Amino acid sequence: MRVDVVAVGTELLLGQIVDTNSSWIGEQLAAHGFDSLLQTKVGDNLDRVVTAFRRALAEADAVIVCGGLGPTHDDLTRQAIAAVMGVDLALDDEIADRIRELFAARGRPMPENNLTQAMVPAGASVIPQTRGTAPGLICPVTLDGAAKVLYAVPGVPHEMKDMLERAVLPDLHARSGEAAVIVSRTLRTWGDSESGLAERLAPLIDELDRVGNPTLAFLASGWEGIKVRLTAKAADSATAADLLSQWSTRVEDLVAGNLFGYDDDTMESVVLDRLRDRGLTLGLAESATGGLLAARLTAVAGADDVLRGSIVSHETGLRQRLLGAGATVGVEDEQTAGAMAVGARRALDSSVGLAVTGGSVPADQTGAAVSAVCIGLALGDAVVTTRLLLPGQHDQIRQRSVIGALDFLRRQLLRP
């Protein structure tokens, strides 16, 4: 059964509100085994809303409409649904009484325009509100002789989620008569390009194309790396999970050392877990990243049992006084990065020191700006360093320096 989504509201098109509702609805539909192939945003114009609903219904078995159920003049979802159904709107006295009661319970006078939320297209069923004033709607629609259904839910996220779980998803299951789940697993990688991963995985991708289930997709995520997502559809969760496990193992073998985590893992959460598992603490010295490395690590809940602190030292003399990094060595030099890592470990009394420093280097052949970022790591009796050449703007370089430094630490921790 195909279920598409239409989000209503000019504020979504203007970027004043980010449409997180559609992505959440899509996730729930997938988890319940419904195919969802199109998500649309449309502004507050009656003709365009009606057109968007009709186009969505022409291709899907069901459509979930989010937003446009408020009491103001630009909330047009009810009128548009009535137009698509070819029926009139009528006041539902029970809903009107409930809205009045809600305002009375809050000790506030009810504006008369709130009663527009009690207007229901003839033939539609009401999804009662438990959290606000706007009820939802379940609207049967016949289009070119085919029976369809349109669901309308509020745009307020907690009201929308309540109605979807309480009414929409159960109704969809009852209409579909099918039991199926769609489950995804995301493999998180760093260190290779999307084209490089595609080349490595090409034989497996060809095989998956022939099999048809699961499917594989690449999701380029900037300085978060490349995600490889496997999605399986099956009659139940256990069967889908088993199918994912079989193919995930094969992908893991091919991406090798570039795989750092799964699903909601981040590079910083994985590195913190590895350090924690080995009973190690971490001290940082940052020049090129200006404290961003510490900020991303401390954004992970519970990081304080591993991270001892960070010394942010841009000025050469300060690096020498606090960290022992030689004043005569250039900031882009690996020797400086190694000395900073040793100094951070000593000054912060940690078992591991990690340092990031860097500076501009001559432009590459295309004339693009490039920065050399040097990473130093003091781990056990060893001091190891590496040098990265990173193109991009200032913030891009800082973010890539952070994940590059953490990945360098992660790979060193994997060594025997």
171-213: pLDDT as tens digits: 998 898 876 777 889 999 998 888 888 899 999 999 998 988 8
Q: Which residue has the higher pLDDT, 327 or 184?
A: 184
CATH fold for domain 3-176: Molybdenum Cofactor Biosythetic Enzyme; Chain A (3.40.980)
Pairing of strands 3-8, 39-42: parallel
Q: What is the CATH number assigned to the segment(s) 267-414?
A: 3.90.950.20
Intervals of CATH 3.90.950.20 along the chain: 267-414
> Is the pLDDT at 363 greater than 90, yes or no?
no
Q: For the CA atoms of the chain, what is the radius of gyration?
A: 28
Q: Which residue has the higher pLDDT, 103 or 331?
A: 103
Q: In whole angstroms, give the CA distance from residue 399 to residue 393.
A: 10
Intervals of CATH 3.40.980.10 along the chain: 3-176
pLDDT at 327: 45
Q: 């400086």: which residue's tokens?
A: 336
Task: Read off the pLDDT of each residue in 248-273 and give the average, rounded to a whole number.
Answer: 93
Q: In whole angstroms, give the CA distance from residue 206 to residue 209.
A: 5
pLDDT per position as a tens digit, 3-61:
999 999 999 999 999 999 999 999 888 878 788 999 999 999 999 999 999 999 999 99
Q: Which two tokens stand for residue 355?
A: 């340092």
Q: In whole angstroms, give the CA distance from residue 186 to residue 226.
A: 10
> Is the pLDDT at 284 greater than 70, yes or no?
yes
Report, at the CATH architecture level, how domain 181-262 is classified.
Answer: 2-Layer Sandwich (3.30)
Q: Which residue has the higher pLDDT, 139 or 393?
A: 139
- Where does the pLDDT of residue 326 fall: very low under 50, low under 70, confident under 90, or very high at 90 and above? low
Nearest to 268 by CA among 410, 413, 388, 375: 410
pTM, full prediction: 0.68
> Is the pLDDT at 242 greater than 60, yes or no?
yes
Q: In whole angstroms, give the CA distance from residue 7 to residue 92.
A: 25
Q: At residue 131, what are phi and psi to the nearest 5 degrees? A: -130, -15
Intervals of CATH 3.30.70.2860 along the chain: 181-262
